[in-house]
Structure 1
């Protein structure tokens, strides 16, 4: 199996552990300032990103703005777990060449733009994107006083474990 896929699966597995710990009320609780987003909205957003990747068209175009946004995933742990399992199964069976050139459509704040990528670069971005959202989820968990015992949750693997003065 490709290292990008293995890394993504390892990262996504953390969401499975989290969803097994949460109640539906925890998943959709949007009471934490300043953004008032829920754990569920972040989980749904992560999985929608992967879903866009799986919807690559015959011209090797992937539209990251074409997200399904199933609100049940934001409010029901079972729906979120099902979506996660489907995503992980699709990743496991993904047949790709990391060097394949693709075009990614995204909105960077000024409207949709077409950006040249490789498939491997987009999958790598998806993994980093997931970790970034885990950091936000970790903040929400802390404010909701929900313990999640994973010292790496929300930390990029390159993040130092101790303070360093190297710049």
Structure 2
């Protein structure tokens, strides 16, 4: 798979995190309802991990996240994990091959929907950008010395709309 927007989205977070100190990464922020940048980052990463595990095993289950607290507490481990995820995404051989997505909206019912890696990457881009917007708010309100790229946390459709309106 080529180096695409999917890798770019992960790289945006990786580059931003490299500016933080471990203390800033784990600090509880009032504007994020007491969550930290690390907690939002862990959540984003674990969705990618679920997708990659699902591709290998045939079933994606975003509810089966590991909830690895090392990802929200160890900044350096997290950056390394993001870099490894980028490599894994690039190495996917059959991105359009059918796989199943497990969905469950009640404790006693699980359904399966046919999907593929590329479709799920589209979802993860949107999911990631949503959390990046929250991370952006946390950084702007608490750490004004951190450089945040203009379009970090802004949906690609919104970026295009603003460019066309300018």
TM range (shorter): 0.7 to 0.9
Is the contact between residue 31 and residue 137 of structure 2 (CA under 8 Å) also seen in structure 1?
A: no
1:156 is aligned to 2:155? yes
Runs of 4+ aligned structure 1 residues displaced above 6 Å come to none
- Residues 1-167 of structure 1: matches in 2 within 5 Å? 1-2=1-2, 6-33=4-31, 35-56=33-54, 60-98=58-96, 100-107=97-104, 109-111=105-107, 112-146=110-144, 147-159=146-158, 160-161=161-162
Greater Cα offset, 56-65 or 151-160? 56-65
Please state whether the residue corresponding to 2:114 is helix, strand or coil.
Answer: strand
Q: Runs of 5+ in structure 2 lacking a partner?
A: none
CA contact (8 A) 1:32 1:143 kept: no
The 1:83/1:153 distance shift into structure 2, 3 A limit, reads same
**Which ranges in structure 1 are unaligned for 5 or more consecutive residues?**
none
TM-score by length of 1: 0.84
More helix by share: 2
1:143: Cα distance to partner? 1.7
Separation in 2, partners of 1:110, 1:96: 32
Q: Under a length normalisation based on structure 2, what TM-score does the superposition of the two structures give?
A: 0.85
